[in-house]
Amino acid sequence: MTTTTSVQEDEAPVRAMWRQGLEVFCENRLALVGVAIFALLAAFSFLGPIFYHTDQVHTDLAKVFLSPGTAGHPLGTDGVGYDQLGRLMVGGQTSIVVGLAAGLLATVVGTVWGAIAGFAGGWADAVMMRVVDAMMSIPALFLFMLMASIVTPTVPMLIVIIGAFAWLGPARLVRGEALTLRTREYVMAMRGMGGTGGRAVRRHIIPNAIGTVTVNATFQIADAILYVAYLSFLGLGVPPPAANWGGMLSDGLSDTFSGHWWLLYPPGIAIILIVLAFNFIGDGLRDVFEVRLRRR
């Protein structure tokens, strides 16, 4: 009997907390717009090809640079005859997958690194954070290009390359959180009762830093999508027939002066929209977590 009541008592506040968080998130109208944009773009990219069949592997040189509105090609075709609308779907898949995966990879690695450094303190902290400082002082794009010139960029490789250097931001953030959290009474109490450092990191530091980390993760995803675009522009994106919005956009650059605007603006707008969407979502999440901190 006592166990059931305690379980109920435990669960009710958790559910209330989630509901309250959701309410705060929904009050931020831009955050909802962000979620809607992301849902629409994701549906367009992943579900679109089910309804709209195009050949995105074989080129068709008889059908290059068809204008939008040509029969069967509502958004025209590009310089090798790929249907532009279908290509936007395929490209969106890569951009979204790489963005999400690299952002999440960076967040996980950074969180663990920062939590350990912040909790360990002393020499370990100093060494671990100087490594972060050193890597941060190498401008990201230079490092990405250096890596991309050594290994052939494929989608998993891009994720690893971007993720391997984007974790520095979250690492700094979590380390800062960990430094303040480790001196909190409940963490010290747990340590006093014989809890290990690992337990402190797993049970207290990471769960408490989760708010900051989540907010940061959304911005990481936005940045990762931009990085893919930059790497494509610099000629080190995934090679054709694979596509991503950034690569389509940079291919479109050379076509602008020939008047092929449909190759430029659609991928450009798609990138802007998805980066904005993740920024809006991040702002909404920040409201959620900050409110909770204030009410405590």
Q: How far is the CB of 118 from another protein (least distance, A)?
A: 15
Binding footprint of another protein on the chain (CB under 8 A): 130-131, 133-143, 145-146, 148-150, 222, 226, 229-230, 233-236, 246, 249-250, 253, 256-257, 264, 268, 271-272, 275-276, 279
Q: Are 189 and 259 in contact (CB under 8 A)?
A: no
Residue nearer to another protein on the CB measure, 130 or 203? 130
Residue nearer to another protein on the CB measure, 55 or 133? 133
Q: How far is the CB of 19 from another protein (least distance, A)?
A: 27
Give the burial string for 40-79 (b: 16+ CB within 10 Å, else e). ebbebbeebbeeeebebeebeeebebbeeeeeebebbbbb
State how far the Cα of 133 lies from the Cα of 62, in Å rounded to an integer. Answer: 53
Distances (CA, A) of 291 to 25, 101, 223: 10, 28, 26
Q: How far is the CB of 151 from another protein (least distance, A)?
A: 8
Closest CA to 159 of 149, 169, 150, 148: 148
Asked, as a colleague might, if the bond just before 241 is cis with ω within 30 of 0, I would say yes
Residue nearer to another protein on the CB measure, 153 or 211? 153
State how far the Cα of 27 lies from the Cα of 264, in Å rounded to an integer. Answer: 35
State how far the Cα of 8 lies from the Cα of 22, in Å rounded to an integer. Answer: 21
Residue nearer to another protein on the CB measure, 54 or 220? 220
Residue nearer to another protein on the CB measure, 119 or 219? 219
Residue nearer to another protein on the CB measure, 177 or 206? 177
